[in-house]
Chains A and B, each alone.
Chain A
Amino acid sequence: MAKEILEGSRAVARAVAMCRPQVIAAYPITPQTHIVQELAQLVADGELAAEYVNVESEHSAASVILGASAAGVRVYTSTTSQGMLLMNEVLYNLAGLRLPAVMTCVNRAVSAPLNIWNDHQDSISVRDSGWMQFYAENNQEAVDLLLQAYRLAEDHRVLLPAMVCMDGYILSHAWEVVDIPTPAAVDTFLPPYPPLYRLDTENPLTFGAYAEPDKYTETRYMMQEAMNRALEVLPEIQADFARIFGRRYQGPVEGYRLEDAETVFIGMGSTMGTVKEAVDALRQQGEKVGAVRLIAYRPFPAQALYAALQRVRQAIIFDRAVSLGSGGPLATEVRALFQSAPDCPAISSGFLGLGGRDVTEETVINAYAQTRGRTVQGIFFDLRHDVEMEGVEG
């Protein structure tokens, strides 16, 4: 293992190559492109023995890896934003076919208006597709979660596709120190993909049969069970990971300075790095605050979250996506977790960092101030009143 300073996209591409996918299909879209062009170069230089399929759309990128996964090889793709939306149909299909696949979602806002910067609307929009979702806080995690995602997706107890979400630009284009694993260590952690079933003339099987009402429910039940099992398998994989790479991940949720915390910030992705800084600053002012970060969003880590939040008095949830007409997707689920539970904390929630708006320490501290002694729901923490909104605010 060697620590290197390199761009997030390049770190991810290097990690992908060490996972030895045999078929890669991708379509260029900002800010994902650096990953896939790096992979194309690795293939072109003979450093990665893979078929790199230059597809004509993201719909086909997902479809190509679907076909390849069904044929029994390890696959990879990466996309973002509009590309994720165009893939949507295929994502559901891949999961329903129970085909392991891994992608990196370089999170970006969704049009209109067109915006190439970071929020989570793209991956959140496919949260119900049957793909597992993991959110990286930094580039080291974007690498580490990728390796873990392959293990989990290909585990015969799970067999569901997985996406590792990394914030566009904030991570993908940031140069950070990343501990790049050695190929040998990755080979130990992630042996060649052993498909449970594959398209094979020696053993002809039918994939993708249609199911009438007397069968369909059971397919959903089985997928739900597989999601639940993924939460059980994850700690095993994380233990292996710690043994081989020396970095310890503990379950699907990470707590920060929770020991006597009365107020806890909850969120996902790179924002939580900033939130941790704000927690430190607030603690210096004597505020008993902490943070809880979801690493896994699907499967939703209900038990781990509940355990982490049981004793706190106040929770402040940061969503970087909006379920328009309702509220924050994360807030809705965390709130549901405490429905009718004893010792329910006062839950406030709101949006920040949409479409690439900077989330600073100050943003977090302001949000803390806005929720002192009251609860707020679905407010826009970093709304700018100096932007003309004619016709909207009447």
Chain B
Amino acid sequence: MAIMEDHLFAPGHTACSGCGQALAVRLVLRAAGSNVIIANATGCLEIFSSNYPYSSWEVPWIHSLFENTAAVASGIEAALRITGRLGNTKVIAQGGDGGTADIGFGSLSGMLERGHDVLYVCYDNEAYMNTGIQRSGLTPYAASTTTSPAGKQSWGKPQGKKDMVGLALAHGAPYVATASVGYPHDLDRKVKRALEITGPKYLQIHCPCPLGWRHDTSLTIEIAKLAVQSGLFPLLEFRDGELVQAHKISRPRPVEEYLRPQGRFAHLFAGEAGQEQIAAIQQIAERNIARYGLRRQERTAAKVPATAGEVTTEEKAARDRERVFTAAELAGFDGREGRPAYLAYQGLVYDVSGSSLWPDGDHQGMHQAGEDLTAAMADAGHGDEILAQFPVVGRLARDI
């Protein structure tokens, strides 16, 4: 994937295979670029990336302590500001879920309240993994960890995830978002957007941890996607307190599909009694879906804005025959660097150039023009009716 070309986070580190956090870090750095200074909390990431004399960091990077990362970043920001280096150089603070939501919450709150121009990234793998899988404020309901173990009288963690998004919003942060390693384009876009905004930003990235979640290392991305598609980890974006985007779910996946491959939830599947717990988790997903309006309206999309000069059926049919695109030809219309943005859907090629939904051929950070997106529609937050607003410029050649 082209998104992985840059190596500001050098390989050779000692992360576990299938580590969601390592993947997320590469994506964050790739999006942030090299004009960034990073303050990093104690945790897995710091350990696996900075074993002296080795370092994976190709950007200036500092690790101080577990709970003070937001304050260290505040100090860096203040120093850059007074010396006129801020703006050109961005500051990112980053830590795990424990370093963010628990022990580091005070310093994060201070950073957000004072309004430092810093992007705080929380890599949320839902427990203290570095110390051996202890529960944190962001461990989800019923997850079994070494300090919230399932047992004869326990279903795992009795509390749900701390609402860090709500807490960040309560500070008046101008940009608050969630992302997932399962949606790299979306993550990439959110990091870039956050760094364009002055002031404190909070981005929480869901990162499966095969060791702590006890799933196969090959399933990291799939499980990350299932968290989103079930509604358990909504992908949200808030600007100045307003929800400006929520990743829609066409057909929410039952939470069971997300829970079943993970050993931390295995106790829920050991007997009939677990069904009640699974139902409770389903309720959490339903609440998220309702709260953030995640469910796509099925086929009622009459709200598609009418475009000026709608084409007649005859005209459309005529255009359909204009040109036949091979996949390789289509790839040339990716919308980048001023090129037109075309996409294929069910055999037809649509021109989405100039659409505000496809800037530079990029759609919501998830899709790039120049591709056949027929299969992707199933995952989209809308139906194919939305394509009616775009002119058809040809047909996609069938594979011979």
A residues contacting B by CB (< 8 A) are: 22-23, 25, 49-51, 53-57, 59-60, 62-73, 75, 89-90, 93, 97, 199-201, 203-212, 215
Contacts and interface: CB of A to CB of B under 8 A. Distances in A.
Interface stretch (B50-58, B135-143, B240-248, B312-320): B50-58
B67 A67 contact: no
Contacts of A212: 51-52
Nearest to A22: B82
Nearest to B93: A67
B278 interface: no
Q: Which 5 residue pairs across A and B have the least CB separation, nearest first?
A: A67-B75, A63-B71, A71-B79, A208-B63, A56-B110
Interface of B: 34-37, 39-40, 46-47, 50-55, 57-65, 67-68, 71-83, 89, 106-107, 109-110, 113-114
A60 B68 contact: yes
A97 B60 CA distance: 15
A60 B79 contact: no
A200 B60 contact: yes
A184 to B, nearest CB: 22
Given A57-B110, A204-B58, A210-B51, A68 B46 contact: no
Contact of A207 (B63, B79, B83, B110): B63
B71 A67 contact: yes
B79 A72 contact: yes
Contacts of B59: 201, 204
Given A67-B64, A207-B61, A22 B79 contact: yes
A204 B78 contact: no
Contacts of B64: 63, 66-67, 90, 93, 97, 208
Contacts of A63: 64-65, 68, 71-72, 74-75, 107
Contacts of B110: 55-57, 60
Nearest to A64: B75
Nearest to A216: B52
Contacts, number: 158
A67 B62 CA distance: 8
B177 to A, nearest CB: 24
B102 to A, nearest CB: 15
B65 A209 contact: no
Given A56-B113, A57-B107, 10 more contacts: A57-B110, A63-B72, A67-B73, A67-B76, A67-B77, A71-B83, A90-B64, A90-B68, A93-B65, A206-B50
Contact of A59 (B39, B71, B77): B71
Contact of B79 (A23, A89, A206, A210): A23
Given A63-B71, A90-B68, A209 B109 contact: no
Contacts of B81: 51
B63 to A, nearest CB: 4
Contact of A209 (B51, B60, B68): B51
A29 to B, nearest CB: 16
B72 A64 contact: yes
Contacts of B54: 209
Contact of B114 (A54, A97, A200, A215): A54
Nearest to B38: A199
A63 B42 CA distance: 14
A23 B78 contact: yes
Nearest to A61: B71
A23 B60 contact: no
A67 B72 contact: yes
B82 A23 contact: yes
A57 B51 CA distance: 30
B52 A209 contact: yes
A237 B67 CA distance: 37
A66 B107 contact: no
Q: Which of A63, A210, A212, A215 has the most CB of B within 10 A?
A: A63
28 contacts: A22-B82, A22-B83, A23-B75, A23-B78, A25-B78, A50-B82, A51-B79, A55-B71, A56-B109, A59-B71, A64-B71, A65-B75, A67-B64, A67-B74, A67-B75, A67-B79, A70-B75, A71-B83, A73-B82, A199-B61, A201-B35, A204-B58, A205-B61, A206-B57, A208-B64, A209-B63, A210-B46, A210-B51
A68 B76 contact: yes
Q: Which of A54, A72, A207 has the most CB of B within 10 A?
A: A207
Contact of B62 (A53, A75, A208): A208
Contacts of B46: 208, 210
A97 B64 CA distance: 8
Q: Which of A23, A56, A64, A203 has the most CB of B within 10 A?
A: A64
A205 B76 CA distance: 14
Nearest to A211: B52
A206 B8 CA distance: 13
Contacts of B61: 199, 204-207
B76 A51 contact: no
Contacts of A72: 79, 83
Contacts of A199: 37, 60-62, 76
